[in-house]
Amino acid sequence: LRQHEAAWTQSPNVDNSRRYAEALLDAGKTSEAEDIINQALKGLFKTEPTLLLLKARLQFETDRTAEATGTLESLQEHNPDFRSAEGHLLYARSLEAQHRVEEAIREYSAVSGYFPGVEARYRLALCLASNGQDNAATREFESILNDAKLAPPHLRKSQKHWLA
């Protein structure tokens, strides 16, 4: 955190702002992180995708899910070629948190096809179950476990949290 703060103080460019804000967010200093992000999202960089993604993450983590959804939609609108599995999963989670379950299921289904690891598939299964689609949820959970049996040990270890 101190290293990123020093770099940002010396040169408050977009990359240093993003790194410093991310370190602040990881340290639980959300209001300070938001200040840094908002300072960086100005002028030519008001639609910078990595900053918008970080802002959406901050909004989601502070229970401002509607704002997070709006930020992610703005990110996609202004940066149609930007791709982020993390951002796509965050979008699905934001929709689910707003009880927009059908939309969330669509987004979870889309992101689970390319998200590294099993988190997206796990969240898809949970969302299906919460929407009363128990058979589909059970099939997804079983598929996750079957795929894990065939996966190399390092993958099972890295995904242990989700597989448990």
At residue 130 the predicted structure's pLDDT band, cuts being 50, 70 and 90, is very high
Q: Given this model, what pLDDT does residue 27 score?
A: 95
Residues 6+ apart with CB under 8 A from 109: 124
pLDDT digits 0-9 by tens, 20-77: 999 999 999 999 999 999 999 999 999 999 999 999 999 999 999 999 999 999 999 9
**DSSP state letters, 65-81:** HHHHHHHHHHHHHH-TT
Q: What is the dihedral of CA 102, 164, 113, 51, to 10 degrees?
A: 80
What's residue 148's pLDDT? 94
Of 38, 36, 11, 39, nearest to 26 (Cα)? Answer: 36
Find the angle CA(157)-CA(123)-CA(81) to the nearest 5 degrees.
Answer: 95
Q: At what angle do helices 119-130 and 85-97 cross, to 10 degrees?
A: 20
Mean pLDDT, residues 81-85: 96
How confident is the model at residue 116, as a pLDDT? Answer: 93
Confidence of residue 105 (pLDDT cuts 50, 70, 90): very high
Burial degree of 29 (CB within 10 A; 0-12, 13-18, 19+): middle
pTM of the model: 0.93
